[in-house]
Every structure is written in C-alpha cells, then in structure tokens.
Structure 1
Amino acid sequence: MHDQSHSALAKRADQSVDSSPSQRLRADVCSSSKLFFLMEAHDGLSAALAERAGFKGLWASGLSIACALGYRDANEASWSQVVDAVERIVDSTQLPVLVDGDGGFGNFNNARLLARKLRQRGAAGVALEDSCFPKTNSFVDRHPLADVDEFSGRLRAVKDTVAQDFVLVARIEALIGGHGMDEAILRAHAYADAGADAILIHSRRSAADEILAFARAWQNRLPVVIIPTKYYRTPVSAYRKAHISTVIWANHAMRAAIAAMRQVYHRILTEESTSSIEPSIATLDEVFELLRYDELASAEARYLRPS
C-alpha cells in the first residue's frame, strides 16, 4: 500500500539527492542575488518549527544552544555538546544548517576538529568569529580580538580540512569591540585571502548605520552576512538596497520560548489549574503532527505487520 506519508518521505529524499545541504547553503549565501534569511534553531523541535514556518535555512545559534543546555554563552558548553545539538537539528529537518562555531573553541587545531565533526553530523557550514578562547557573548562585554594572522590560520585550517562545498563564514567582531571601520575592513580583506566564503559583520548599535557603511566600503568582495539583533527597527529594504547577502534572525525562537514558558509556569502556579491556558498552547494533536507520528504508524504497518 502506497500511503501519503511514504510519498512525502520519498519526495523529501529525492529533493535531498539533487544537491547537498552545503551546496544549497552556498547557492543561497554566496551566489544568489536575493536576500536570504536564516532562522535560529537550538534543538530538533525549534528546527522543525522553523522549517514548517517556511524558512529555507537554519542558524544553529551558540547563544541559544547554550541557553537550552543551561549554560552561559561563554564557551561553557563544550564543542562536543554543540556538535551533538547540531546533529539533533540536522536530523529534524531537510534545511541546510549554518553553525555558530564561536571562535572554534581554541586554535587552528580545535577549529578544524570542530569543522570536521560538524561536517560529519550533516551541517552545511560554520561561522567562526575572530575572538579569543574562551569567548564572551558579543552583547555582554567587549572582549579582545584575535590576532589577524592567527585567526586567518584558523580559517585556512578549516578550508584545508573539510570539503570545498562546506561554507565557511568569517565573523568580524571589530565593530562590536569598538575598533572602528578601518580595522573591520582590514580584517575582512585578510579573511577573504585566507579562504572565507562570506563575511559576517556584527554591531551592537541600535541603528544599522555602521553595518551599511561597512557594506559600502567592502563593495561585495565577498557576500556580507548580518545579525540585526540590536538594530531590528531597520527595514529589510535597506539590506536589499545595500546588497546584503544574508540576514540571520539569531536568537528569537529561544527568547520567545523563555517568554512563553515563563508566562505559562506563572499561571499554572497561581491558578493551580491548566484550564485557562489550554486554548493558547499547542494541542497534543499538533505535537504529534509536527513530529510526524503518522509516519511511525505507517512504518509499523509496513514493517511490524506486513501483509
């Protein structure tokens, strides 16, 4: 019996044969003229929801993964814990996953080990930032930047270790650290020479002025990726006009989950009942549908009780 669930699985498998996740991510980030969006995911559930919403790529956020594990975004979670979390994300979706690799968890050797393991678990690419180990979240404190030559060595090591279609994004923290535009441009050129496929330029300002100034000065030598967490009021049209390649919505699923869970916990505790919250939370049927319990049922019919 050829059921709909089996057909859907076959269709998804056929689509994945056409191109690898890395090839699809490379096409969207490095080759497309259209503005591309990456949505944060920190576990299998958030990844599945992002895919269901219609996003075409995922950002495995270091901050969000750390939060989900109960850690601070200060390299408290180990590289192996991050890799395990990425595997859950990859397994839950057909979307390409760009991983927030912090600074690579050490020197060139740690960075290439991280990239190799991420590649093995199915990630499509990694973003490495020019920070020193252990890093601190960009919005918590200003941290020292890595030496340009040393960080360039990390990038070269990654490019020499993983397949060429694996996307390597070099994240520049110069503006975050208050080092100015000249330093950011200098580093962008060095990282391009070291083999980066795209440049992620970051800012803590509430307006996108310095990001757009960087884009003008950089003149698209490599695609530019941005994370508008702080300058969220800037319209997306400004990024299209500046020929930005990719926008990352970097931590919003995790923050939404915190707000929603906090409210639900408070109401259950104070009301000593769940009756008032039931209309505003997902039904169990929605949970079962999202996680494709129907596929399990059809597989049981096929393999446990074959006709």
Structure 2
Amino acid sequence: MTVVVGTVCVAVSCLIQSDPVAGLFGASTFGLVSAYTALFHTPRLLALCWTAAAATLTVLTVRWAGHDLAFVVSSALLVALVVVFVTFAGRMTIWLLDADIFHPNLDALTGLLNHDGFHEKAATLLTSSSRTDDRFFVVAVVNLDSYSLLRSLAGTIGVDRARIEVARRLRDTARSNAVLAHPSDSEFVIADLFTEPDTSPLIERVQGTINAASARLTASIGVVCTPLAPVAKLPAPDVIDELMAVASNAMYNARRAGGNRVTYVNDPALTVLDAPPTDEWPDDDTR
C-alpha cells in the first residue's frame, strides 16, 4: 500500500505542474520510491512503479514537445537513468552489506557455513554441552566423487547446481541442530551430537540422498565419533581440528578404496586428551 500511494502521489504531483520542466525533473522522485520498493517489496510492485514513472515521463514529454525536442528527450532520458541508477545502487549496496558484514561465515553459493563458520559453530556445539554428558560428538566429512569429471562434463554452471542441490539435500537429511558446512568445492561437513555411537542411520541417509541427486553423484565419507565428556573440558578449537583431521583421513581411505564408501572411526585415541589442562602449563617467567 505504501508503494502504491507513493507512486500515485509522485505521478499526480508531476502531472499537475503548470511548468512541464518542473514536472519532468520532479519525476526523479520516482527513484526514491523505486529504491524503497526494490529493497523491501516484490519485483511486481517495482514493475508497477517503473510503469507509472515511464507513463508520467511520456505525458510530460508530449506536453513539452513544442519546445526543443532534443532537449526534451534528453531530459526525460536523464530522469529515467536517475531512477534506474538509484534503484540498483541501493539494492547493490544492501546486497554487499548483507554478504560481507552480516554473513561473513556463510558460503555464498550454498548458504551453508564456510570453513571458519564451521569451526566456530562446532566449537559452540562442543562447549555448550555438560562435561558429564554421556552423548557422543560426531564429525562427518563428505567428499563428492569424480568432482573433476563432473566439472569437465557439466561445466561451472552444472557443478554449481550440483553443489547447491547437495547442500539442500543435506539440510533436509540432517537434524535441525546439526552444524552443516561447505568448506571447499567438493567437500561438505556435518557435526552433531548423538546419544549412541552408532552413526550409520544418518550416514546411510546422507549417502542415499546424494545418490538420488540429479547429477547421479556418489560420495566418499569419513566419520569420527568420540565420547563427549572427555573432550568437553578441552580447548574446543584443538578438539575440532583433530576430529576434522581424523575424519578427513577416514574419508581419504574411503576414496582410495574405490569411492562411494564410508569409513568409520569410533573413539579414536586423540592427542588432545594427552595434553595437560591449560592451568597446568608453566608460566613464561618460570622457564
């Protein structure tokens, strides 16, 4: 309603001017209305605003046709360019701010977390749990098989579509509280908490949904599962780094075995468990 009323008011105020020049350049106000519409409303309303602006400019140009025709036409085109420029400049500014400031940890293509975003969210998931929690912390690294072949056959657009589809399928498959990431071209990562060490039901669903993708993809998956209580008291970044390394090695083993396989690592001997607590490290002035 605001857009419609604003568009009508601007059109009427321009058309009732006795001086066509004032009405013509007053039509530049359509730029503010169209910019607001582009930011907060649908393309259909933007089309309505631009249609009203074009009609107003046409009427004013016809009224002023008795003057220098070249000057009239160039003035009308200048106003139209101002309207279009203000609209797209405002929309582009918001898009850049949204991409660079508000979502610095998201992968622009898939909308999943990127490398830094995954480590941050996974660390939060780990540290938010109780040290007496009897659940299990799970990290799964999913690598698309034959990614280079897919790129050579389908091109960049085809590969991007495949990655977007896989990301959507993983969202539909994993639990809502799971941490999902797309840290590199062919790699996806899942982190979650389980009540038991058997992660096969989730991983089988992940395999199935990837195999059902339109590009007929397969994936090599490495899964690491460790009891939560022993690692909950340790520095979260160190734990996440080591679990990622274990899961990645397991994924590479699955790839070397022919791909489209899963390698599970349950309760591995983590080196972070051997490190002394932070408060037991000697101070710098005692060394």
Smaller-chain TM-score bracket: under 0.3
TM-score by structure 2 length?
0.25
> Which of structures 1 and 2 has the bigger CA Rg?
2
Q: Which has the higher helix share?
A: 2
